[in-house]
Chain A
Amino acid sequence: MEITQDKIMSLKEAIKRFVTDGCHISFGGFTLNRNPMAAVYEIIRQGIKNLHLYAHSNGQAVDELIGAGCVDRIEIAYGGTGRFAPTCICFKRAIQEGSLQFEDYSNYHMTLRFLAGAMGVPFLPTRSSLGTDIIEKWGFSKDVREKDPRIPNEKLKVIDNPFGTWADTPKVVLLPAINTDVTIIHVQKADIQGTLRIKGLTFADVEQAKSAKHLIVTCEDLVEKMELRDDPDQNQIPFFNVDALVHMPNGAYPTACFRYYDYDPVYLNEYREYAKSDELFKEYLDKFVFGVEDHKGLIELVGEDRIRKIKADPRTGYASNLERR
């Protein structure tokens, strides 16, 4: 939360100031759409480690951070990027090798947890997952939970409906709130004060943004205040939630940004190959992350031709007839 200060800054500065070793963090977007990838690559470049990551289905951002060794613990509903990687490859390997501590939830669970954090309540109830192993099996050890005051001692709780049989509901699952140290989202438009406009699906970005102690925003277009106040019904997040605002065109690349560009199938297919072993992934990082100065450098490396191919069709919001095999 930040009202008065000028919050427009470079991505390097935003990451340096708000993302620290061991911090609790979440990223906006969903699978292969609107992941704040420029910020993810900058975190990797700055060598920030031991992150505690909260994810619903954050796909690409999550996998690259795990592959780069930035993540110690993850609370997650779904590690996949659709057809490009039905199970995220670095995520899969890390769990199979035992190098990542994990806690499984469902997408609604994680959404409710962010919402609880945004609302300032300790938990929210749902009927989802009663009778399943999501309730029975807990990933984090008791020790890990008790040592970190930022996570509760229980994964979740099942209780009898305190209102009896009200709403024909005998039992509910209580999901503990998440309040991250920092959340990073990528949006289509921000004004210079920090009011935000997301086009297309918001996923759980609004809940995630509002559950964070600090919010970093990267945006495609940074506009004057008048432009977003002309049609405020289209805006989702008020300026005072935002701590750092970074103008970052193509900031979600190689994931999609509705009405601006599509995901890059060439990049995501290549990524899948690089992700198959630690050696290859090191090559990937050396070339695409450490081998460039910043996100603009990555876009230049990929080349105009590919960026042109994924440019959104103004009618549909994605690159119509894009070759996606």
Chain B
Amino acid sequence: MNNYTFREMMTIAAAREIMDGDIVFCGTGISMLAAMAAKHISAPHSVIFFETGAIDSLLEEVPLAVGDSRVMFWTSVNGGLADSFATMQNRFTGKHVVGILGAAQIDKYGNLNSTAIGDYFRPDVRFSGSGGACDVASFVNRTIIFMQQEERKFVNKLDYLTSPGYLDGPDGRKKAGLPEGGPSAVITNMAVMHFDEKTKEMYLKGYYPGITPQEVLDNMQFKVDISRAEEMSAPSEEELGILRERCDPQRLILG
């Protein structure tokens, strides 16, 4: 068996969710790395783009923020925020965009909190806020969400709903007036979850080698269906090689 970290497994698991031809909206950190890995491994025609306005960045070096000059080098177009969000709200191009997001809390419908824990006005912990996350989650067809598998993060009720998933269920987005779409996968340090087509509730799709479905359940407040879950394959030598040597040789994100 290969030696790899859960962080590497998460990155590869997310990369496997990206399809060839997707336009991939990336945030900071591990999401950039997943998009870079997908492009090198299984989705050579995917396009990486950033809310800051950079389209199809070469990413010779890993950026440490979406405003990093590294996203501006060798792009198709360097624009601005107005262009990039319009690309996602646009009814033709938006359908091809997959967004990668992260958050402090998630609920069973894939709604996200990246704003505050505790009382909104006087929070126990304040986070960065939406940035472009709410916009992406509102507009695009599919989102992939990175989370740490912890009980305090997979919650029955969010302290603040920053970015919309399926809101309160199958008709949630329609009732609110949002475009169709919504979360497609949640990638954690233990497992991958998808959303049921009918109920729009999260279910366990796959768990990493060495992890049991029960361990996943033990690390969330709400229960998910585990009957469809299968053990996932470990990252291959090729996947790991590309991730380590071509995507993050300085281990700035992989740690």
Chain A residues within 8 Å of B, Cβ to Cβ = 29-33, 56-57, 59, 76-84, 86-88, 91-92, 95-96, 98, 104-109, 111-112, 115, 126-134, 136-137, 139, 158, 167-172, 200-207, 256, 258, 262-263, 312, 316-318, 320-321, 324-325
Contact = CB atoms under 8 A, between A and B. Distances in A.
A295 B177 CA distance: 49
26 contacts: A31-B67, A32-B64, A33-B68, A57-B131, A80-B65, A83-B253, A92-B126, A104-B130, A111-B81, A111-B85, A112-B82, A130-B164, A130-B178, A131-B172, A132-B161, A136-B161, A137-B120, A137-B160, A139-B121, A171-B177, A201-B52, A203-B81, A316-B69, A317-B73, A318-B69, A320-B61
A79 B68 contact: no
Contacts of A91: 126
A201 B51 contact: no
A133 B176 contact: no
Interface string B78-94: 11111001000101000
B73 to A, nearest CB: 5
A37 to B, nearest CB: 14
Contacts of B70: 316, 318
B115 interface: yes
Interface stretch (B38-46, B133-141, B230-238): B133-141
Given A201-B78, A201-B79, A324 B250 contact: yes
Nearest to B65: A82
B170 interface: no
Contacts of A206: 80
Contacts of A137: 120, 160
B189 interface: no
Contact of B53 (A80, A88, A108, A202): A202
A169 to B, nearest CB: 7
Interface string B158-177: 00111110010000110111
A183 to B, nearest CB: 15
B127 interface: yes
A109 B60 CA distance: 31
B162 A132 contact: yes
Interface in B203-251: 250
Contacts of A111: 80-82, 85
Contact of B28 (A82, A131, A312): A82
B128 A133 contact: no
A317 B72 contact: yes
A119 to B, nearest CB: 11
B21 interface: no
Contacts of B63: 82
Given A77-B129, A82-B67, A83-B29, A106 B60 contact: no
Contact of A134 (B65, B72, B134, B172): B134
B66 interface: yes
Contacts of B29: 83
A132 B163 CA distance: 7
B120 A133 contact: yes
Given A83-B252, A133-B161, A324 B126 contact: no
Contacts of B121: 98, 139
Contact of A78 (B60, B73, B128, B178): B128
